[in-house]
């Protein structure tokens, strides 16, 4: 009897125990987790994402950043066919074409350039940039593998080497661009298929910066890995040197 009375005293009605399984917040937790994972952006190797005006940041936006035609040193950009290693050709050609198509449409959407296209004749008479991209490495988790394996199927990633030359064949820039998704986010969002288009946005926004007279250095600093030649209209130095990071 005493034990029962003691229990009633310690657990009064005004302080009822809450069953968390019946709480609305408990049922909202999976939804909050799902939204968080789906909204996780495609990740980028390295620290290049830290630049808020750089191509990795702007590539997440649906539309390309505004480009002022008066700021451009090159008003035309041509693309050579993307190079794919023989062992990747059959499986990767589709995603490579998707990256190229997106980069072209991204640049064309700025309405600032005279010509954005694959390399063809006749070539523009004015100064132009010629872009050559090579697929260095990639891994693409299939939809089926992601469905059954979820996060355990691992990450998807793509890496390109981008070489940019002028109309005379002089290489101006060389850089690697890459992206890799989060396997946990991919298990919910199946965003593996978005990587080629995301890198197309990165490539387009990168080229729109480097086509400027100031090479977009204030928005996306030039790195030592990039070989820099003299901008249009300036005297070419005897020995080109890469600027500091």
The pLDDT assigned to 30 comes to 53
Going by C-beta distance under 8 Å and a sequence separation of 6 or more, which residues neighbour residue 107?
Answer: 64, 77, 113, 116, 204, 207, 208
pLDDT averaged per 10 residues, the chain (length 245) = 46 48 48 44 49 91 95 97 95 96 97 95 92 96 84 91 95 94 82 92 97 94 65 34 28
Structural domains of the chain ordered from first start: 16-210 (3.40.50)
Q: How far apart are CA 1 and CA 12, in angstroms?
A: 17
Cα separation, 65 vs 71, in Å, equals 14
Say how far apart CA 162 and CA 135 lie, in whole Å: 9
Torsion of CA 210, 164, 101, 107, to 10 degrees: 20
Residue 235: CB partners within 8 Å, gap ≥ 6?
none
What pLDDT does residue 228 have? Answer: 55
Give the pLDDT score at 25: 43
* DSSP notation for 47-105: SGGG-TTSHHHHTTSSSPPP--GGGBS--EEEEPPPB--TTTHHHHHHHHHHHHHHHHH
Alpha helices in the chain (DSSP H): 2-10, 24-38, 55-58, 89-108, 143-149, 183-189, 195-210
Strands 157-166 and 128-139: antiparallel
Residues 100, 221, 168: CA angle, nearest 5 degrees: 55
Rounded (5°) CA angle 184-186-188: 85
Cβ atoms 116, 108 nearer than 8 A:
yes
pTM of the full predicted structure?
Answer: 0.73
For residues 23 and 33, what is the distance between their CA atoms, to the nearest angstrom? Answer: 17
- CB–CB of 13/181 below 8 Å? no
Say what the pLDDT of residue 36 is.
43
């Amino acid at each position: 009897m005493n034990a029962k009375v003691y229990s009633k005293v310690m657990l009064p009605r005004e302080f009822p125990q809450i069953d968390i399984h019946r709480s609305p917040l408990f049922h909202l937790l999976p939804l909050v987790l799902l939204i968080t994972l789906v909204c996780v952006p495609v990740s980028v190797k390295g620290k290049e994402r830290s630049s808020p005006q750089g191509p990795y940041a702007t590539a997440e936006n649906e539309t390309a950043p505004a480009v002022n035609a008066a700021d451009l040193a090159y008003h035309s950009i041509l693309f050579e066919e993307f190079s794919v290693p023989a062992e990747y050709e059959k499986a990767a050609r589709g995603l490579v074409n998707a990256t190229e198509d997106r980069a072209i449409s991204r640049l064309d959407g700025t309405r600032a350039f005279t010509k954005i296209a694959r390399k063809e004749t006749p070539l523009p008479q004015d100064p132009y940039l010629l872009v050559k991209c090579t697929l260095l490495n990639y891994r693409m988790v299939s939809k089926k593998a992601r469905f059954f394996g979820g996060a355990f199927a691992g990450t998807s990633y793509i890496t390109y080497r981008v070489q940019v030359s002028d109309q005379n064949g002089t290489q101006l820039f060389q850089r690697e661009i890459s992206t890799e998704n989060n396997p946990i986010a991919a298990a919910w969002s199946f965003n593996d298929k978005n990587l080629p288009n995301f890198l197309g946005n990165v490539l387009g926004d990168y080229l729109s910066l480097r086509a400027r007279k100031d090479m977009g250095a204030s928005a996306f600093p030039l790195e030592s890995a990039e070989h820099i030649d003299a901008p249009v209209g300036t005297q070419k130095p005897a020995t080109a040197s890469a600027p500091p990071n």
